[in-house]
Structure 1
């Protein structure tokens, strides 16, 4: 009887392990990973990015969350989650204020354009504007930069035709950035230059994409500053 119980216990453990592995097999964080504790960043490359962006916070959805999920930045420098929209991000302002960032990068929109309303772009940008206004009031000394929504693959666009609106949505983001006087960086070009870095769903990205993203953002901000 004891042997049977022991074998049953081993079987349950194996089944649990296989289940956990399957949940993470698509390269995106399983639900329980979203609230995991911060991971120590120890490689030279990761340490470099952690230092460069130690006074920054990236606010966004699951694409932005890849920065911390893939351990490119520390958890305290990323405030993001799956399904996040500009409307939902309003709830993150209190937490953002607690972190006292000097620079805030906002990358929202991938979920906004899928929102079931008559005009998702107009609906989203109205909340995007409210979000920025709220941050400016609470963190008046912080600089804010909007990052464009990353394009998806042709296959992903075919599966979800609303992704065809990404380019138009980004145009709206650029106009909004100019209107509310915050920075704007279009990251579309780096996605076009590295199509092999898409994850299996053609929407999210593999770990190798994020250092390239951070380098591009840093260089673009430097270029914009020099041009002034």
Structure 2
């Protein structure tokens, strides 16, 4: 029952969000709300019941406040509500996160391989290899087209930073844009998402000091993709909250972390539907 209520809530908030984004639909939405209040007042008056004018004033005041709010502010409020609800549902086990990957594919390196190894996502939807960088993306395109997903999640970075193909993050971003463009041209109906790079930790720096630069790369990647409109999945918070879930090598993550990672991915996908 709770699961059905949550799904209904998610559908309603998604619909409201779409209406608010469109100024005309937003005006209609406000008009409908006002009309509903007027009808309620008339019904109360004709029924002879005492009308709570204070409650009505509060309702009208709230509707008027929507006009003054920036659309992005409203969207952020909805986003935070959905995030809190989803987190609660995840922790209680009411939602099966992995069941929601049935229209997505994950691309990436050995960290992304974990989605398949730990039986999180079906292997047919995971295109990843140990040591892979974004230059591997073109090799996956035919396989992705066969699956025909609506969402493509890119989980690269650990090798990209250290391998030496790109001297700076700016050079890396230039080639990343090219790879994303190839995906968009091959699958025009799919949305491409870029996942932040999971930082390395000790003892990983014994293998590459370059990995200390990952937080800086993430900042530049996030700024760039937010500017270009490519959805960016920032899992910095999840990593910070679950530092105890790093594997002993300081590079990979334990099975338990993938639940939090998967939830962050689906949150972003849901918000962009």
Q: Does TM-score exceed 0.5, indicating one fold?
A: yes
Residue 147 (structure 2) aligns with: 99
CA, structure 1 residues 112+173, in 2 after alignment: closer, same or farther (shift >3 Å)?
A: same
For residues 1-228 of structure 1, the aligned pairs below 5 Å read 48-117=96-165, 119-157=167-205, 159-222=207-270, 224-225=271-272
**CA drift at 1:198:** 0.9
| RMSD over equivalenced CA pairs, Å | 2.2
Give the conservation status (yes or no) of the 8 Å contact 2:98–2:262. Answer: no
Deviation digits for residues 155-185 of structure 1, max 9, x if unmatched?
3235521001101211232133234421001
Unaligned runs of 5+ in 2: 1-92
> Which secondary structure state, in structure 2, belongs to the residue aligned with residue 58 of structure 1?
strand
CA 1:126/1:225 → structure 2, altered by over 3 Å: closer, same or farther? closer
Q: Distance in 2 between matches of 1:118 and 1:80?
A: 21
TM-score, L = length of structure 1: 0.72
The answer on whether the counterparts of 2:166 and 2:172 sit within 8 Å (CA) in structure 1 is: no
Structure 1 gaps of 5+ residues are 1-44
Structure 1 Cα separation of the partners of residues 222 and 138 of structure 2: 20
Query: SS at 2:152's partner residue?
Result: strand
Q: CA deviation at 1:221?
A: 4.5
CA distance in 1, matches of 2:166, 2:122: 38
Residue 115 of structure 1 deviates from its aligned partner by 1.9
Larger helix proportion of the pair: 2
TM-score, normalisation: structure 2:
0.61
Deviation, 1:86, is 1.0
Helix, strand or coil: the match of 2:232? strand
CA shift, 1:117, in A, is 4.4
1:87/1:124 contact within 8 Å kept = no
Which one scores higher on RCO, CA 8 angstroms, separation ≥ 6? 1
Aligned length: 180
CA gap of 1:219–1:179, structure 2 versus 1, over 3 A, is closer
Between 105-114 and 148-157, report the one with greater CA deviation: 148-157
* Aligned partner of residue 143 in structure 2, secondary structure: helix
